[in-house]
């Protein structure tokens, strides 16, 4: 029997116009020990003689939601047309507020639009709500024991089983790739106190419905509303974060909050202003072609021209492998597409470790201007790393591993950058 691990808990305080300390999302996932029907990311591995082979650092077995390539089996497909089942639920001790479809509209069409933009149109996210009314659970909310850090057993298993019984007459669960349970916001505490939203992904031991396990299911509670007046534009972003897990992406925050990645990936911070995914994640999900990735695996110098990650086409990622489980990535981030909060465009450099569990820092962004306090004052954006990108004439150096990444110049017309990777 597959072990279901406890989810990582994330206490965090972010700069905010309301000066509120915000608790961030707790998420959960477990990886399958064997093959499963669906798999995220690039389906075919590169040929062994491919120049990219050294840069396809491998998934580490036993690591929860490893950053390696390809994504372990059992997660939802991340390319093509995805059907997402949405069930709006309430309870006798927390009756639905407003209409169920109003709750649905808090997340759509924004979530589908976010995935379309981030994937360059390679993921068509089709949200469906075959039951347009609140689906009343047979037990009070309090009886399920749902709280931050709650394990899958026994409360969530009971909740999923009750969901299936209540919806099965009107829903063919086998027709969907993932499930979103949009809970009435008055069930549980405010998100300002503690965030209950959670995802159980790659979980082949989940209850079955219509012959398939509900292995990739996200639960969203409360509302991520910090009082800054931006909720209508940004409150939906908890769902793309949670759905990132059903596609096999880990949490990038740690016990220190967004301190290792900041606002450079929605798997790190999903409050407030919009942000995109890292280029490594886009390659992992199959949204970048191998031709859009450069691999600097040999000693000496290698030069790459990178185009802005937000735009389709062109080379997006340069990778420098350090070992079979780690390496550095470089990409160009600009304020466009899903990257609303970028205040310093440039070349973002970060380390990827495939042998680090979700929520323990599998990605670390290099800060080009350490200790400056950053360049943004946007609510709920990790300020210190907001000016992390490197500009023309600046160099990232890892003396221990003999790696230097130098920004040679910027193409003002395209927003792209030329970089040189030097290995000794």
How many of the other CB atoms lie within 10 Å of CB of 153?
10
CA distance 258 to 263: 7
> How far from chain centre, in Å, is Cα 57?
19
Question: What pLDDT is attached to residue 2?
Answer: 23
104's enclosing H/E stretch is helix 100-105
Question: What pLDDT is attached to residue 40?
Answer: 58
Question: What pLDDT is attached to residue 3?
Answer: 28
Question: What pLDDT is attached to residue 93?
Answer: 97
Tokens (6 digits) for 309: 């990650």
Q: Which of 234, 242, 288, 266 is nearest to 363 (CA)?
A: 266
Helix and strand counts by DSSP (H, E) for the chain: 6, 17
Tokens (6 digits) for 93: 């001790």
CA distance 212 to 214: 6
Tokens (6 digits) for 233: 């534009």
Conformational region of residue 380, where left means phi above 0, alpha means psi within -120 to 50, and beta covers everything else: left
Instruction: Say whether 384 sits in a helix, a strand or coil.
Output: helix
Residue-by-residue DSSP string for 348-375: EEEEEETTS-TTS-SEEE--TTTTS--S
What stretches in the chain show pLDDT beneath 50?
Answer: 1-39, 43-44
> How far from chain centre, in Å, is Cα 215?
17
Each residue's pLDDT tens digit, 67-104:
999 999 999 999 999 999 999 999 999 999 999 999 99
The domain 53-246 is placed in CATH, from the list 3.40.390, 3.30.1490, 3.30.413, 3.30.1050, at 3.40.390
What is the number of alpha carbons within 13 Å of residue 291 lying toward its C-beta? Answer: 3
- The DSSP 8-state label assigned to residue 39 in this structure reads B
Question: What pLDDT is attached to residue 45?
Answer: 52
Contact 181, 9 (CB under 8 A): no
Specify the length of the chain in residues: 424
Domain boundaries, the chain: 53-246, 279-423
């Amino acid at each position: 029997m597959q072990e279901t691990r406890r989810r990582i808990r994330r206490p965090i305080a972010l700069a905010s116009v309301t000066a509120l300390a915000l608790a961030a999302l707790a998420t959960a996932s477990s990886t399958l020990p064997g093959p499963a029907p669906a798999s995220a990311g690039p389906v075919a591995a590169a040929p062994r003689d491919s120049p990219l082979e050294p840069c396809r650092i491998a998934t580490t077995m036993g690591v929860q939601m490893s950053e390696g390539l390809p994504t372990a089996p059992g997660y939802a497909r991340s390319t093509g047309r995805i059907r997402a089942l949405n069930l709006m639920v309430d309870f006798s001790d927390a009756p639905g507020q407003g209409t169920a479809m109003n709750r649905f509209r808090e997340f759509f069409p924004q979530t589908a639009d976010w995935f379309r933009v981030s994937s360059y149109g390679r993921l068509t996210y089709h949200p469906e709500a075959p039951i347009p009314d609140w689906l009343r659970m047979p037990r009070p909310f309090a009886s399920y024991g749902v709280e931050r850090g709650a394990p899958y057993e026994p409360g969530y298993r009971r909740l999923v089983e009750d969901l299936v019984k209540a919806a099965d007459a009107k829903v063919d669960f086998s027709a969907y790739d993932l499930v979103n349970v949009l809970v009435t916001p008055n069930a549980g505490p405010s998100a300002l106190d503690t965030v209950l939203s959670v995802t159980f992904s790659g979980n082949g031991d989940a209850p079955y419905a219509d012959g398939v396990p509900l292995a990739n299911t996200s639960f969203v509670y409360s509302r991520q509303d910090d009082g800054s007046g931006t909720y209508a534009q940004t409150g939906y972003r908890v769902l793309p974060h949670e759905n990132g897990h059903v596609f096999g992406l880990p949490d990038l925050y740690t016990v220190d909050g967004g301190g290792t990645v900041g606002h450079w990936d929605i798997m790190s911070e999903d409050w407030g202003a919009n942000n995109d995914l890292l280029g490594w994640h886009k390659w992992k999900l199959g949204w970048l072609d191998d031709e859009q990735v450069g691999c600097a695996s040999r000693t000496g110098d290698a030069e790459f021209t990178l185009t802005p990650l937000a735009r389709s086409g062109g080379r997006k990622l340069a990778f420098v492998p350090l070992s079979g489980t780690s390496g550095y990535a470089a990409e160009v981030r600009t304020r466009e597409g899903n990257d609303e909060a970028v205040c310093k465009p440039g070349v973002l450099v970060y380390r990827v470790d495939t042998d680090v569990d979700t929520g323990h820092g599998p990605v670390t962004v290099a800060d080009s201007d350490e200790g400056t306090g950053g360049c943004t004052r946007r609510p709920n954006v990790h300020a210190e790393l907001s000016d992390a990108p490197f500009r023309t004439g600046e160099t990232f150096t890892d003396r221990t591993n003999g790696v230097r990444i130098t920004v040679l110049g910027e193409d003002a017309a395209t927003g792209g950058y030329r970089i040189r990777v030097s290995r000794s």
